[in-house]
Amino acid sequence: MATSSGRSCLQYLLHLAQDNLDFRLPEIKALLALRGKPFHSCKNFKEKSPFWCLNGLVEEDVRSIMARSVCAKSAFELWGHGRTHSELRTSLLNYPSENMSPFMHKDSTYRINVYTFNKTLQFAERIKRIDAMEYLQFEGTVNLKNPQHIFCLLEDYGTDPNNIPEHPDYIYFGRWIADGQRELIQSHSVKNRHFIGNTSMDAGLSFIMANHARVKENDLVFDPFVGTGSLLVACSHFGAYVCGTDIDYNTIHGKGRSSRKSQKWRGPDENIRANLRQYGTEKMYLDVMVSDASKPVWREAALFDAIITDPPYGIRESTRRTGSNKEITKPTEGIYVESHVPVSQAYHLSDIFTDLLNFSAHHLVMGGRLVYWLPVYRPEYCDEMVPLHPCLQLISNCEQTLSSHTSRRLITMEKIKNPEDLDTLANVADPRFSPYQGHNAFREKYFSGLNKRCGKEDHRSAVNGD
Ligand SMILES: C[S@@+](CC[C@H](N)C(=O)[O-])C[C@H]1O[C@@H](n2cnc3c(N)ncnc32)[C@H](O)[C@@H]1O
């Protein structure tokens, strides 16, 4: 295949999936950042559109985005575009012929696809569209099965299925470069996963989280509320070494009742390591251990490249931590305590997030990312409720609606400062920096309201829809 070296000022077209709309821009920006590239859209960029046109990239950048993206379906080198077929023709005829010729010469084979968004075209109409493009000087041979080059005419009929226009709103033509990783959603579906629980994170969102976290090869990634390890599965797929903790002994050791209807008890090898083995990434598994995320168990050091987690909301699993509200009477020294069964107390949501941000500020490497879900009671949500920390910069905040009143927000933060480099705690002016300032009363109320309201609803189908 001809290379694109020396072909400058190219534009690329991304065709994106029309689900998880909020998550797409942070995903593409994060993947570009892994290449050291900023996100430069063409003018008239519409975030909710299925088509984005990008500037300032080379083909290798685009290929590397598509090798990771779960939000993007396909990418094309854009040769022409317009509001009508006549505008498209003018645009294509103005495209530099030296950019086209490596892919159109007589020894090449090619195919042209027609793709329509929000409208179905009959076969005959598609053929008509292709025939109408005879003004392009393709000298090669058509090969439908295995062509060297694939071209695509893409027609955008808007996003309203109840109001489909007769003519497309916009038309693009380009050379196909690569498809995204949408097939991971099926291949890693929790439906076919060896070890699952009631709150296993769906595959697509797990990969999106790993992308928002900019997880890359040989990173060390930690999930403090690891559950059945769905996030470790996604991160290990991208080449990271993974580890996690959970307060639940049965989850960590793969024991106890099965979450499958057809099965009463978990089988002998139902554990997180076996999940990674299922997908061929067992070598990236470091370990998991029983531990309470509210208690410091790690040595004081910047250990992790990313912390990526789905904390308990108190909806399907209780928010507990070790310890007791009652005064604990210490055993008399020297008396042997045969087995210690830790008692537990409520772990309030606001404390969970305060602890998580604090932990991340101390244990992320500089530039490392924290990605986590924040449950939200929609009628009372405002952006000011998102917990902040002076060492962590908020990168993105994406909503996934669960019901009319509830949603969860995927929060991505990046470590920008070491806690020991903060001048004094008094200099932390923003009252939302709760890890240092105690709980602000407003957010306490908000979280306790959320705890009460969400406790009454069952989010099972919405959260687990894979
Ligand atoms: C929403 S689930 C995580 C699900 C996980 N992402 C998966 O794919 O299976 C939250 C997990 O946090 C654990 N958890 C609850 N309180 C905890 C605590 N204080 N410390 C550590 N883990 C805790 C629960 O046992 C549960 O497994």
- Res 46: pLDDT: 95
Ligand 1 pocket check for 355: Cβ under 6 Å: no
Distance, in Å, from the CA atom of 122 to the CA atom of 124, rounded to the nearest integer, reads: 5
Distance, in Å, from the CA atom of 149 to the CA atom of 141, rounded to the nearest integer, reads: 10
| Interval between CA 228 and ligand 1 midpoint (Å) | 9
Ordered by where they begin, the domains of the chain are 11-181 (3.30.2130.30), 185-323+341-464 (3.40.50.150)
Distance, in Å, from the CA atom of 275 to the CA atom of 283, rounded to the nearest integer, reads: 12
Distance, in Å, from the CA atom of 348 to the CA atom of 352, rounded to the nearest integer, reads: 6
| Interval between CA 227 and ligand 1 midpoint (Å) | 5
Nearest Cα residue to atom 5 of ligand 1: 227
The DSSP bridge partners found for residue 407 are: 376, 401
Q: Provide the phi-psi class of 226: left if phi over 0, else alpha when psi is between -120 and 50, else beta.
A: alpha
- Res 262: pLDDT: 76
SS3 assignment, position 419: helix
| pTM greater than 0.85 (yes/no) | yes
- Per-residue pLDDT 10s for the chain (466 aa) are 334 445 557 999 999 999 999 999 999 999 999 999 999 999 889 999 999 999 999 999 999 999 999 999 999 999 999 999 999 999 999 999 999 999 999 999 999 999 999 999 999 999 999 999 999 999 999 999 999 999 999 999 999 999 999 999 999 999 999 999 999 999 999 999 999 998 999 999 999 999 999 999 999 999 999 999 999 999 999 999 999 999 999 999 987 777 777 777 777 789 999 999 999 999 999 999 999 999 989 999 999 999 999 999 764 455 667 765 554 444 444 333 434 445 676 778 788 999 999 999 999 999 999 999 999 999 999 999 999 999 999 999 999 999 999 999 999 999 999 999 987 654 444 445 454 344 445 455 555 655 565 554 333 323 332 2
| Interval between CA 246 and ligand 1 midpoint (Å) | 6
Q: Are residues 372 and 356 in contact, defined by beta-carbon separation less than 8 angstroms?
A: yes
In single-letter form, the type of residue at position 56 comes to G
Distance, in Å, from the CA atom of 168 to the CA atom of 152, rounded to the nearest integer, reads: 15
Q: Are residues 199 and 463 in contact, defined by beta-carbon separation less than 8 angstroms?
A: yes
Nearest Cα residue to atom 4 of ligand 1: 227
Task: Tell me the C-alpha to C-alpha distance, in Å, between residue 269 and each of 247, 256, 278, 340, 386.
Answer: 20, 12, 11, 27, 39
| Interval between CA 319 and ligand 1 midpoint (Å) | 8
Ligand 1 pocket check for 317: Cβ under 6 Å: yes
Ligand 1 pocket check for 368: Cβ under 6 Å: no
Ligand 1 pocket check for 251: Cβ under 6 Å: yes
> Would you tell me how many other CB atoms lie within 10 Å of the CB of residue 297?
10
| Interval between CA 197 and ligand 1 midpoint (Å) | 10
